[in-house]
Amino acid sequence: MLKGKTAIVTGSTSGIGLGIARALGADGANLMLNGFGDAAQIEALRAGLAKEFGVKVAFSGADISKPAQIQEMVSKATQELGSVDILVNNAGIQHTAPVEQFPDDRWDAVIAINLSSNFHAIKAVLPQMKSRNWGRIVNLASVHGLVASVEKVTANIDQISSASREQASGIGQVNSAVSQMDQVVQKNAAVVLQAAAAAESMQANAQELVQLVSVFKLGDAVPVEASTSEHTHRAQRAPRLAFPTPRLVQGSRGNARRNAAGEPPTMESANP
């Protein structure tokens, strides 16, 4: 099932890590072992697994509290075994002491191996997994992820990790809701911009209409007797057209005839 795949298992020279490595090897995966121990015993273990399962098995003694050595382990697995398809972050250490007596170097070591190494290993293998669109990453923790123990720092680390995953899930849901709200806001903003553009266009049309009305006023004719200079001045200030003001002429003989016949009177110019 895993033939052709390669797995790195940290802390795999004994205990749970070795058990995981054996299970992966039995399923056909090539193995990169990691851990501390007697060199001769580790070599015997490596050769024995390769023979038993018919897979390639390599070993890295990388100190996973050091990011550079984690990167070297991943590079070695890629070069010797072809790729890294599966990462099992299994390694962990323990130290117990009251807080006020807990050695600083032990605290730093526990954090580096039990927590930070997971991040650095994932960072190192993720690019090639993404490039192949296939990969599996398994992070192990102890029962202390659910129940704390007195004076055990790993219990606190496991609980922090568990709480962080729950918070990350909640943050993801919030981010999704915010993204949806942002899309609605963007749509509304587009509508507002369209309305603003329409209003601006209407305002421009209204201004043009006011200018036309101010220029073309019915009945505001330029007097014939106005001097040339005055006429020129008015024309430059606000050019206007001379329209005669119509009026009803009641006294003409034609209208008298129309009145007798029941027809409406005609309109004649008041300033011919």
Please say which residue of 91, 113, 140 terminates a domain.
140
Per-residue pLDDT 10s for the chain (272 aa) are: 899 999 999 999 999 999 999 999 999 999 999 999 999 999 999 999 999 999 999 999 999 999 999 999 999 999 999 999 999 999 999 888 988 999 999 999 999 999 999 999 999 999 999 999 999 999 998 877 777 777 776 555 555 555 555 555 555 565 555 556 566 656 766 776 777 777 777 777 777 766 666 655 544 444 444 444 544 444 455 455 444 444 444 444 555 555 555 555 555 444 44
The verdict on residue 24 lying in a domain is yes
- In total, how many domains does the chain have? 2
- Specify the CATH number for the domain of residue 86: 3.40.50.720
The verdict on residue 220 lying in a domain is no
Q: What letters, b where the CB count within 10 A reaches 16 and e where it falls short, cover 237-267? A: eeeeeeeeeeeeeeeeeebeeeeeeeeeeee
The verdict on residue 211 lying in a domain is no
pLDDT given at position 145: 72
The verdict on residue 249 lying in a domain is yes
Let me know whether 129 and 12 are in one domain: yes
pLDDT given at position 257: 55
251, 239, 94: which is closest to 158 by C-alpha?
94
The verdict on residue 212 lying in a domain is no
Please say which residue of 84, 114, 140 terminates a domain.
140
pLDDT given at position 254: 52
Domain enclosing residue 129, as ranges: 6-140
Please say which residue of 88, 121, 140 terminates a domain.
140
The verdict on residue 151 lying in a domain is no
The verdict on residue 213 lying in a domain is no
pLDDT given at position 53: 98
pLDDT given at position 140: 93
The verdict on residue 219 lying in a domain is no
